[in-house]
Structure 1
């Protein structure tokens, strides 16, 4: 079994909530700081494919950087490859927290979706 990877930004309140949930439910995971160890384009491609979600769902649309770069209006004109390269350029653009494990990728924290065996 693949190790469960929890990708977070420690100052993010949603990430802290998600981490607390994992710990309270005795879910084992490897912790990764999204800014210090930003996902690569290759990793992102694999996760996007595995998640079945459009690339847009991986953007942190409520983040300051997303707004400062006016990505709301620019993403539509970018190819999927360009969007992935952009995500790989800065961890603050990536929606978090992320859980990566065998068979699934969870983006953002919705407790109802976060069920583990």
Structure 2
């Protein structure tokens, strides 16, 4: 059975719910508190590829820092990825990864797509 990784923010209710959902299933988990243990550029690019989305689709566009950094006008994926690494609060959560697949657990039922 492969280990499941969750990019988790303990202060986020959606993230806590996703973690509880996975724990209820008795799965072996690797919990990554991404605000502390931020993914590298390579890891973030791989996650974006696994999610099959654009870097902007992984961003929390309602965060103040998004507006402060004027990211809505950023045209380059490179700029967006760098912004997420420097400001991990911008990364949408929670992200669940299993094997080479990933989902954003919003709604929670998305998790079932990769289990």
TM range (shorter): 0.7 to 0.9
CA distance in 2, matches of 1:3, 1:64: 34
Gaps of 5+ in 1: none
* RMSD across aligned positions (CA): 1.9
Instruction: Give TM-score, length-normalised by structure 1.
Output: 0.84
Matched, 1:8 2:8: yes
Shift of 1:103: 2.5
Contact map agreement 2:104 2:110 (CA 8 A) in 1: no
Gaps of 5+ in 2: none
Tell me the residue number matched to 1:39. Answer: 39
Greater RCO between the two (CA within 8 Å, min separation 6)?
Answer: 1
Query: Number of residues paired by the alignment?
Result: 114
Shift of 1:58: 1.0
Deviations 1:91-111 (A, max 9, x none): 101101111221311124322
Q: Identify if the C-alpha distance between structure 1 residues 14 and 36 changes in structure 2 by more than 3 Å, giving closer, same or farther.
A: same
Shift of 1:21: 0.9
